[in-house]
Amino acid sequence: MKLSNIIINKRKSLSLTLKEFSDALGLGVEGEMILREWENGGFTPDSEMIKKIQKFGEEAPYLKQPKRGQFRFIDLFAGIGGIRIPFQELGGKCVFSSEWDKFSQKTYRINFGEIPAGDITKIEAKDIPDFDILLGGFPCQPFSQAGLHKGFSDTRGTLFFEIERIIGEKRPKAFLLENVKQLKGHDDGRTFSVIMQHLDILNYHAEAKILRAADFGVPQIRERIYIVGFDKNYFDIPEDYSFPFPEPSGKTTRVGDILEKQVDRKYTISDRLWAGHQRRKVNNRQNGKGFGYSLFNEDSPYTSTISARYYKDGSEILIEQEGKNPRKLTPRECARLQGFPDEFIIPVSDAQAYKQFGNSVAVPVIRAIARHMKAEMKSLEVNREVMSDLLGEEHRSWNMSRIHSRDTKIEVLVRRYLFSKGYRFRKNDKRYPGKPDIVLPKYRTMIFVNGCFWHQHKECKIATIPKTRTEFWVNKLNRNVINDEKNTQMLRDNGWLVVVIWECELEKDFEITMADVIKQLELRIKRTEET
């Protein structure tokens, strides 16, 4: 086969344009023209370049995964896989990925050997394989739109909702979400509050912390918020539990450590662009804005945060050059700035590469969080096994069949239903007798969602007594009934409306049962307003 045909076939097999392939091969300013000549047979590349072309994209650097994996995870809003890399390094197996951008899909495919599924809004949760951990660096754009209206009072219409619905249906053991640090303060904190409320309604223990990339070994400020959660239906999580987010590594960073030694002249900005940057900085300073280009050198400890707009003019990170105008970072330097290893392949044009790395994550930060998550999940698993052993086989089987089922199918559904109707509440409030499942202080109303077995619902087929150790179970369950009656009376004596929802009622007809609850709440509201 002719060399020209080999080059053409290689490029087309990777679905790359002339510019994308020339940039990926590092051919410089005239790269597109040079590559076109090679493909036309006008002249040929040297032997080293021929080898580079032949090997390019032959083996995805992150294709190899453990057959089973120590744990399974999914990669949502995957981008180019920055969150995936550390979890795969720790022995995890990615069983599903989703990313709608075609250029990011291209980069993902050539590095991981798979094409992510497209628009997650069009994918049913039931079609996603079972997994242990959900990963998602979900976009933040919808929040500004929500803030104009209801302050994110409803997650529908936002991409967080896609994460919420998948978590709700698939019940992963844990999740890691990443977003801009401004998420915490958006709409006076209401956006973040609603997100955490929705995760709580799903019965997940969730915590968040803002971490800085420069504290984890990469020379870039980049502050992002990370939300870690664990399933309380699965793990026995202590009431005082707090996730140990990683502490700063203490490693000194230096911009020079990520810079390439030889850089093509095309990255040096033009006289016109440099003059424009300087003029805008002066004007902004005079107007009190304080915005403009940012200049760095080899000895700078870190740069400002690289963004997806870097491709436009590179103003947020410019590198000093002796006797020349400053230059933009190269795509490889952007990759290093985010902590991507050098074996990570960049198969797209410079403009697309800038967007991709600007939208991606600081890999070392994810790596540190991933290690802590893996360790904590192991620890919580041990606690779960210990508790299971203490319960005994018989008790454990009843516990799993009654309590665990109730928590996932009943309490969570009731909370979500009430929340969707605009009711705001506290959950499992220990300050009140019986630790009510749902407390609505505004309406002085308590709601108990009772499992028919544990609370012995009269004339219910579920409320049977085990045939073994009958005396033990009779005494235990009778105590539950007596305590329920005592707690209910105490609450009513103090002016609280007590509503009891039974497991069997919800399973028989959820909508009718909840409609009756809403009717009681509306009547309570009316009486409250009258007084």
As annotated, the active-site residues are 140
Residue 286 CB contacts under 8 Å (≥ 6 apart), including other chains: none
Geometric angle at alpha carbon 323, from 319 and 315, rounded to 5° = 30
User: Residue 364 is inside which H or E element, if any?
Assistant: helix 363-391
Contact 204/189 with Cβ under 8 angstroms?
no
Whole-angstrom distance, CA of residue 32 vs CA of residue 19? 5
Angle formed by the axes of helices 3-13 and 47-55, to 10°?
Answer: 30
Question: Distance between CA 241 and CA 239 in Å, rounded?
Answer: 6
Which strands make up the sheet holding 426-427, listed edge to edge?
426-427, 438-440, 445-450, 497-502
Q: 325 phi and psi, to 5 degrees?
A: -65, 155
DSSP notation for 179-234: EEGGGGTGGGGHHHHHHHHHHHHTTEEEEEEEEEGGGGTSSB--EEEEEEEEETTT
Alpha carbon distance 505, 512 (integer Å): 9
At 8, which amino acid appears? Answer: I
In the three-class reduction of DSSP (H, G, I as helix; E, B as strand; rest coil), residue 67 is classed as coil
Dihedral sign computed on CA atoms, order 525, 529, 530, 531: positive
Q: At what angle do helices 102-112 and 350-359 cross, to 10 degrees?
A: 80
Q: Left if phi > 0, otherwise alpha if psi is -120 to 50, otherwise beta: which for 530?
A: alpha
Q: What is the DSSP string of 396-409?
A: HHHIIIIIIHHIII
Are the beta carbons of 76 and 160 closer than 8 angstroms?
A: no
- Give the amino acid at 192: F
- The DSSP string of 468-492 is SSHHHHHHHHHHHHHHHHHHHHHHH
Contacts of 188 (CB under 8 A, 6+ apart): 151
Cα–Cα dist 36/21, whole Å = 11
